[in-house]
C-alpha cells in the first residue's frame, strides 16, 4: 500500500534525501505559499462582509486553511520534488543473508521450529526476490559465520550465538567485496551479552545496513528459567552458605516447584518454592552446608514442571572456593563471665574456627586460651599491627575503651579498615556506652551511634525477635524457612541481660531486636567498614539459650558459629586473588587479578606476582601478573581458557625470596549452556542492531517488502538517482481530498 501511494518503498524515504528539481529556488516556493495564503485570506475577509450569517469567522478560517493547503500542495508539485537516493547496482552487488544456526533456533513456538520458519521465509519470498537483482550469499552462523547453501541449513545445533563476532567476521571476510546489505535471520538470543561496539563500527564504516528478521515468540511459553545465582565466591569448610536464586517463570502462576542445590550430584539443600502471580521475576533465598574444602561447582536448579517448553534453562552452575584453612579469632574479655565460656564452647565445636582468648581474671593475671605457643598474647592485647593482623577476627567483650591505648585503638580500627578483618563488640557492664567507646578511635567503625549516657547495661531479662533482614540472614538462620526462623527466634528463652546500643547508623543492618518492658532496641547490628565488617551484639547473656533449651538443642552454638563465621569468612590474606566473573559462557578470556599487601596490610610494592594455572587436560602453566598503574598493590594478567572446564589459579607473591602469601581462585568456562537461556526472541536487540546500521527490523511475513527495500543502500556499488515525487498518487489523492473536503463543508454549512 505504501509503495502504491508513494511510488517507492519506505527504505527509499528512510535512506533518501528530499530535493526540488524546479529551476526556481526553494525560498521562492515558501514565498509563493505565503503569498497564496495571504491572497486567499484577503479574499476570504472581503467575502466575509457580504456573506450570510451562517459563515462565521471560525468556519471561514477552516475554509481558508483548506484552500491554502491545496495551494501549497499544488505549488510544491510545481517545484518538482524528488528523492535523491543511492541504489545498489543490479547484479554488481552482494547481499549477505545470515541465518542463525544456534540451538535456540530449533525451539518450537507453538508450531514449526524457528529455523524451519526462517528457511520457509527464505524460499518463499526473500531469496527469489534478492537473487533477481543481486548476487546473494547465504551464511549460517552461531559463534562464527560459515558459507552455506539452502540445503545445508538445519538442524540448528550451534552451542552459542555470537551475533557481533559473526558480523565482524563477515565484514572482514567481505572487506574487498561490494557488500551492499546484510540480512540477518535470528531470534536475537545472543549469548555473548549483546552486539559489541566494534562490530557495529565495522559495519557503519562501510555503511552496510543490517536488516534483521526476528523469529520466535516475544514472550516465553510455559517456562521456568534460573536467571542468576548470587553466592559468595568463598566459604569456610563446613560452614552454612546463603545464596539468592533469581527465577523467571511464565505460565505457572501460583504453582509450586522444588529448588535444589547440588554438589557433584549430591543434594546439599532443597526447598519448595511458590511462584507468584503475573509471571515475571522472583528471588528465592536458599541456604546449604557447603561441605568439605575444595573448589566446588554447585548446581542450582528448579525441577522441571509439566508442559515446560524449555527444560535446559532450569539450572545454573556457580563455582565456590571452599577453604580448609581455619580462621583465627582473638577474643579479648575484661572479666570472667558466662558469655565468654559459652562462646568458647560454641567455637570449640567448629573445626574452622580457632578462638585465641585473653581474659582478665584478676588485676594482675590474664588467662589465655587457644594460643599456639606460650609467647602468643603473653603481653595481653597486641601492640603491633603484625601481631593483630595474624587474626582474621576480633571480639571485644566487657572491656572499657580506656583499657586500650590510643595506639591500640587505632590498631583495632585499622584491623577492620585496612586489613579487612571482622570486629565484634559484645554488650557488658564495661562495653559500648558504659565502656565509653563513643570517645574512642574505634567509634567511626561501629554500626551504631552509642548513647551519650552511661548505665546502659542492665541485668534484666530481654526477649528477642528478628527483623525482616534477620529472617533471611545467614548469621541468624536457625531454620531455613524465613517465617519459621522468625517464629523460632520469638520463642527463644530470654537473654540474661541487655545493653542499649544506641541508634543504628545509615547503612547498618539490624538483624535482631530485643524487648524489655515494652521497649525495643537493636540487638545485633552489622555493617561493612573499609575492607572489613563490624557487628555489635548488645548483650552478654545469650549463654542462657544454651542452659535453658533442651539438652542437645543446637541453637546457641549454631548462632555463634554462624556469627563468627560471618565475622571472618571474607577476611583475606596478604595476597587476594580474584577474577571478574568466575563462570564464562562460550568464552575463554579471563583477567586474573591480585591485591598484594605487606605485613601491615599496606599495598605492597617491589614484589613479583605469579599465577600457576591448572586446567583440564593440560599441564600447569605459569604467568606473571603485572602491576596496574594508579592502583598500588594491584596486579593483573590475561589468561585464555582454551577448552571448556574448571580452572584453578594459584597466585603467589614474593618480595625477593620471601613469600608474602598465596591465594587460590577458581574459574570455569562453560560452552553451550548460555544458549538455553533467554530463548524468547530478543526483539529489542534486533531493532537496535538494525537502527544503528541504517537497516530495519522485519517480521517474517514482511519478506517481500524486505526484498524491495534492499536496493536502497549506500554500501557496495551504487548509483545515485533522482526519483521524482510530483507524480506520486498520494499527492493527487491529497488534492482531491482537500477540494472534496472543502466542498462537503460548504454544503454542510449551506453555503452552496
Partner 1 sequence: MRWRGWLRSWRIPVSLGAFAVSALAVAAFVPPGGPRAYAQELRSLPDTTSEPSDGKAEFYWSRLRYTSSGYGRSGYGYGGGYGGGSGGYRGYGFGFGYFGWSRDYPKADRQMLLALKRLTRIQMRPTEQVVDLDSDDIFNYPWVYAVQVANWSFTDAEAKRLREYLLKGGFLMVDDFHGTADWDRFMVGMRQVLPNRPIEDLSDNDEIFHVLFDLGVRFQVPGEQYVWTGRTYEKDGYVPKWRAIRDDKGRIIVAICHNMHLGDAWEWADTPEYPEPFASLAFRVGMNYIVYGMTH
Phi-psi region of 254 (alpha: psi -120 to 50; beta: other; left: phi over 0): left
Give the nearer residue to partner 1 in terms of CB position, either 76 or 399. Answer: 399
Q: Is 372 exposed, middle or buried (0-12, 13-18, 19+ CB in 10 A)?
A: exposed
Considering the complex, what minimum distance in angstroms separates the CB of residue 336 from partner 1? 4
CB of 463 to partner 1, least distance (A): 10
Nearest distance from residue 494's CB to partner 1, in Å?
Answer: 7
| Least distance CB 525 / partner 1 (angstroms) | 23
Minimum separation from the CB atom of position 489 to partner 1 (A):
19
Q: List binders of partner 1 among 350-409 (CB under 8 A).
A: 359-363, 365, 367, 369
Q: How far is the CB of 444 from partner 1 (least distance, A)?
A: 29
In angstroms, the Cα distances linking 567 to 441, 474, 599 are 20, 11, 21
The Cα 681–Cα 187 span in angstroms is 5
* Alpha-carbon separation of residue 228 from 177, 244, 674 (angstroms): 43, 8, 11
Closest approach of Cβ 441 to partner 1, in Å?
25
Positions in 495-554 near partner 1 (CB under 8 A)? 496, 540, 543-544, 546-548, 550-551
The interface region with partner 1, picked from 117-125, 300-308, 454-462, 648-656 by CB under 8 A, is: 454-462
What are the grid coordinates assigned to 283, written together?
528471588
Least distance between partner 1 and beta carbon 536 (Å): 20
Residue 359 beta carbon to partner 1: minimum distance, rounded to whole angstroms: 6
Largest CA distance in the chain: 120
Query: Of the listed pieces 5-13, 237-245, 339-347, 385-393, which binds partner 1 according to CB under 8 A?
Result: 339-347
Residue placing its CB nearer to partner 1 in the complex, 127 or 425: 425
Stretch that binds partner 1, among 244-252, 457-465, 583-591, 658-666 (CB under 8 A): 457-465
Task: Specify the stretch interacting with partner 1 by CB under 8 A; choose among 132-140, 208-216, 292-300, 342-350.
Answer: 342-350
Candidate ranges 73-81, 201-209, 248-256, 333-341; the one touching partner 1 (CB under 8 A): 333-341
Nearer to partner 1, 342 or 635 (CB): 342
- Closest CB to partner 1 among 297 and 463? 463
User: 603: which strand partners?
Assistant: 597
Among residues 209 and 435, whose Cβ is nearest to partner 1?
435
Q: Which residues contact 622 (CB under 8 A, 6 or more apart)?
A: 610, 611, 612, 613
Residue 340 interacting with partner 1 (CB under 8 A): yes
Q: Which is nearer to partner 1, 53 or 551 (CB)?
A: 551
**Given the complex with partner 1, which of 494 and 712 has the nearer CB atom?**
494
Quick one: 221 exposed, middle or buried, by C-beta within 10 A (0-12, 13-18, 19+)?
middle
Q: Which is nearer to partner 1, 267 or 547 (CB)?
A: 547
Give me the least distance between CB of 377 and partner 1, in Å please: 15
Residue among 288 and 543 whose Cβ is closer to partner 1: 543
C-beta of residue 529 within 8 angstroms of C-beta of residue 445: yes
Write the CB contacts of 473 (distance below 8 Å, at least 6 apart in sequence): 242, 511
Residue ranges with strand state E in 76-130? 81-88, 94-100
Would you say 158 and 142 are in contact if contact means Cβ atoms under 8 Å apart? yes
Cβ at position 308, least distance to partner 1 in Å: 50
Cβ neighbours, 10 Å, residue 528: 15
Distance (Å, whole) CA 733 – CA 730: 5
**Residue list 94-123, contact with partner 1 (CB under 8 A):** none
In the bound state with partner 1, the residue whose beta carbon lies nearer, of 334 and 385, is 334
CA neighbor of 240 nearest in space, from 265, 272, 207, 269: 269
Candidate residues 341, 634, 655, 746; the one interacting with partner 1 per rule CB under 8 A: 341
**Contacting partner 1 (CB under 8 A), which of 139, 331, 332, 494?**
494
Contacts of 185 (CB under 8 A, 6+ apart): 97, 98, 99, 100, 118, 121, 122, 212, 213, 215
Q: Provide, rounded to whole angstroms, the least separation between the CB of residue 568 and partner 1.
A: 22
Q: Indicate the residue among 25 and 336 with the shorter CB distance to partner 1.
A: 336
19, with CB counted inside 10 A (0-12, 13-18, 19+), is middle
State the DSSP code for 438. G
User: Which parts of 358-474 fold into alpha helices (H)?
Assistant: 385-388, 406-417, 468-471
What stretch of H or E contains 664? strand 658-670
Nearer to partner 1, 92 or 548 (CB): 548
* C-beta of 449 vs 549, nearer to partner 1: 549
Interface with partner 1 in residues 413-452 (CB under 8 A): 429
Q: Min. distance of Cβ 268 from partner 1 in angstroms?
A: 28
Of 277 and 362, CB closest to partner 1? 362
Min CB(548)–partner 1 separation in Å: 5
Least distance in Å: CB of 459 to partner 1? 4
Find the shortest distance in angstroms from Cβ 461 to partner 1: 4
| Piece in contact with partner 1 (CB under 8 A), picked from 53-61, 207-215, 337-345, 484-492 | 337-345
How many Å separate Cα 33 from the centre of its chain?
56
Which C-beta is closer to partner 1: that of 166 or that of 546?
546
Number of other CB atoms surrounding residue 600 within 10 Å: 14
Q: For the chain, how many residues are written?
A: 752
As beta bridge partners, residue 86 has: 720
Task: Name 192's Cβ contacts closer than 8 Å, sequence gap at least 6.
Answer: 160, 161, 162, 163, 164, 165, 586, 587
CA-based nearest residue to 478, from 234, 240, 236, 231 = 240
Nearer to partner 1, 382 or 541 (CB): 541
Name the residue nearer to partner 1 (CB basis): 276 or 326. Answer: 326
CB of 338 to partner 1, least distance (A): 6
Q: Using CB under 8 A, which of 344, 488, 600, 655 touches partner 1?
A: 344
Q: What is the CA radius of gyration of the chain?
A: 37
Torsion-angle region of 661 (φ positive above 0: left; ψ -120 to 50: alpha; else: beta): left
Contact at 8 Å (CB) between 707 and 46?
no
Q: Centre a 10 Å sphere on the Cβ of residue 683 and count the other Cβ atoms it contains.
A: 16
Phi-psi region of 613 (alpha: psi -120 to 50; beta: other; left: phi over 0): beta
Name which position in 461, 530, 588, 603 contacts partner 1 (CB under 8 A).
461
Residue with cell 533482614: 469
Residues in contact with partner 1, counted by CB under 8 A, come to a total of 33
**Residue 82: all three cell numbers together:** 524528488
DSSP 587: -
Q: Tell the smallest beta-carbon distance from residue 369 to partner 1 (Å).
A: 7
Which of 79, 342, 529, 585 is close enough to bind partner 1 by CB under 8 A? 342
Return the bridge partners of 537, or none: 426, 524
Q: Rule CB under 8 A: choose which of 337, 515, 597, 696 binds partner 1.
A: 337
Question: Which listed residue (9, 334, 532, 573) binds partner 1 by CB under 8 A?
Answer: 334
> Which residues contact partner 1 (rule: CB under 8 A)?
334-338, 340-342, 344-345, 348, 359-363, 365, 367, 369, 429, 459-461, 494, 496, 540, 543-544, 546-548, 550-551
Amino acid at each position: 500500500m505504501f509503495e502504491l501511494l508513494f511510488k517507492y518503498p519506505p527504505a527509499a524515504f528512510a535512506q533518501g534525501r528530499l530535493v526540488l528539481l524546479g529551476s526556481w529556488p526553494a525560498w521562492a516556493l515558501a514565498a509563493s505559499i505565503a503569498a497564496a495564503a495571504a491572497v486567499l485570506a484577503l479574499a476570504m475577509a472581503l467575502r466575509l462582509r457580504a456573506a450570510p450569517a451562517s459563515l462565521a469567522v471560525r468556519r471561514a478560517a477552516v475554509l481558508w486553511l483548506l484552500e491554502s493547503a491545496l495551494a501549497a500542495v499544488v505549488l510544491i508539485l510545481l517545484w518538482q520534488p524528488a528523492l535523491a537516493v543511492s541504489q545498489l547496482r543490479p547484479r554488481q552487488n552482494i547481499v549477505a543473508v545470515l541465518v542463525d544456526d544456534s540451538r535456540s533456533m530449533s525451539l518450537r513456538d507453538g508450531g514449526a521450529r524457528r529455523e524451519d520458519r526462517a528457511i520457509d521465509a527464505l524460499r518463499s519470498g526473500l531469496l527469489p526476490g534478492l537473487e533477481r537483482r543481486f548476487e546473494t550469499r547465504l551464511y549460517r552462523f552461531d559463534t562464527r559465520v560459515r558459507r552455506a547453501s539452502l540445503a545445508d541449513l538445519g538442524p540448528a545445533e550451534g552451542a552459542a550465538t555470537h551475533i557481533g563476532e559473526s558480523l565482524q567476521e563477515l565484514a572482514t571476510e567481505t572487506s574487498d567485496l561490494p557488500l551492499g546489505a546484510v540480512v540477518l535471520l535470528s531470534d536475537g538470543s545472543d549469548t555473548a551479552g549483546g552486539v559489541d561496539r566494534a562490530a557495529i563500527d565495522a559495519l557503519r564504516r562501510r555503511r552496510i545496513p543490517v536488516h534483521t528478521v526476528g523469529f520466535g515468540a516475544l514472550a516465553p511459553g510455559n517456562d521456568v528459567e534460573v536467571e542468576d545465582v548470587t553466592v559468595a565466591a568463598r566459604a569456610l569448610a563446613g560452614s552454612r552458605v546463603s545464596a539468592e536464586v533469581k527465577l523467571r517463570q511464565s505460565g505457572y502462576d501460583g504453582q509450586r516447584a522444588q529448588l535444589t542445590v547440588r554438589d557433584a550430584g549430591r543434594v546439599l539443600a532443597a526447598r519448595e518454592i511458590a511462584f507468584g502471580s503475573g509471571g515475571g521475576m522472583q528471588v528465592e533465598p536458599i541456604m546449604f552446608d557447603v561441605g568439605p574444602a575444595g573448589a566446588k561447582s554447585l548446581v542450582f536448579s528448579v525441577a522441571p514442571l509439566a508442559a515446560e517448553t524449555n527444560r535446559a534453562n532450569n539450572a545454573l552452575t556457580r563455582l565456590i572456593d571452599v577453604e580448609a584453612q581455619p580462621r583465627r579469632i582473638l577474643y579479648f574479655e575484661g572479666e570472667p563471665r558466662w558469655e565468654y565460656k559459652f562462646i568458647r564452647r560454641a567455637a570449640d565445636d567448629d573445626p574452622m574456627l580457632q578462638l585465641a582468648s585473653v581474659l582478665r581474671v584478676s588485676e594482675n593475671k590474664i588467662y589465655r586460651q587457644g594460643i599456639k605457643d606460650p609467647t602468643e598474647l603473653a603481653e595481653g592485647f597486641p601492640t603491633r599491627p603484625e601481631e593483630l593482623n595474624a587474626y582474621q577476627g576480633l571480639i571485644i567483650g566487657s572491656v572499657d575503651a580506656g583499657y586500650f591505648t590510643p595506639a591500640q585503638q587505632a590498631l583495632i580500627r585499622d584491623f577492620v579498615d585496612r586489613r579487612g578483618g571482622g570486629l565484634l563488640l559484645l554488650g557488658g557492664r564495661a562495653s559500648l556506652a558504659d565502656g565509653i567507646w563513643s570517645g574512642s578511635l574505634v567509634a567511626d567503625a561501629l554500626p551504631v551511634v552509642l548513647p551519650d549516657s552511661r548505665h546502659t547495661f542492665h541485668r534484666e531479662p530481654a526477649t528477642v525477635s528478628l527483623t525482616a533482614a534477620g529472617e533471611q540472614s545467614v548469621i541468624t538462620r536457625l531454620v531455613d524457612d524465613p517465617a519459621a526462623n522468625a517464629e523460632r527466634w520469638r520463642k527463644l528463652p530470654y537473654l540474661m541481660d541487655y545493653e542499649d546500643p544506641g541508634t543504628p547508623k545509615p547503612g547498618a543492618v539490624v538483624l535482631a531486636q530485643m524487648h524489655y518492658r515494652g521497649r525495643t532496641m537493636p540487638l545485633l547490628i552489622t555493617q561493612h567498614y573499609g575492607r572489613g565488617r563490624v557487628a555489635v551484639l548488645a548483650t552478654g547473656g545469650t549463654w542462657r539459650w544454651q542452659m535453658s533449651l533442651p539438652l542437645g538443642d543446637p541453637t546457641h552454638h549454631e548462632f555463634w558459629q554462624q556469627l563468627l563465621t560471618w565475622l571472618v569468612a571474607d577476611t583475606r590474606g596478604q595476597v587476594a586473588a580474584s577474577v571478574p566473573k568466575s563462570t564464562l559462557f562460550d568464552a575463554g578470556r579471563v583477567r586474573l587479578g591480585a591485591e598484594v599487601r605487606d605485613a601491615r596490610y599496606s599495598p605492597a610494592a617491589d614484589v613479583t606476582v605469579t599465577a600457576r594455572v591448572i586446567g583440564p587436560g593440560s599441564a600447569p602453566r605459569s604467568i606473571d601478573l603485572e602491576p596496574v598503574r594508579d592502583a598500588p598493590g594491584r596486579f593483573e594478567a590475561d589468561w585464555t581458557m582454551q577448552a571448556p572446564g574448571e580452572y584453578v589459579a594459584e597466585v603467589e607473591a614474593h618480595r625477593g625470596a620471601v613469600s608474602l602469601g598465596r591465594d587460590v581462585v577458581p574459574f570455569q568456562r562453560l560452552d553451550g549452556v548460555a544458549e538455553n537461556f533467554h530463548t524468547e526472541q530478543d526483539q529489542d536487540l534486533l531493532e537496535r542492531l538494525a537502527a544503528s546500521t541504517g537497516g530495519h527490523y522485519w517480521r517474517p511475513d514482511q519478506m517481500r517488502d524486505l526484498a524491495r527495500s534492499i536496493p536502497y543502500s549506500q554500501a557496495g556499488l551504487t548509483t545515485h538517482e533522482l526519483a521524482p515525487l510530483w507524480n506520486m498518487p498520494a499527492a493527487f489523492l491529497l488534492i482531491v481530498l482537500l477540494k472534496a473536503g472543502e466542498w462537503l463543508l460548504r454544503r454542510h454549512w449551506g453555503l452552496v
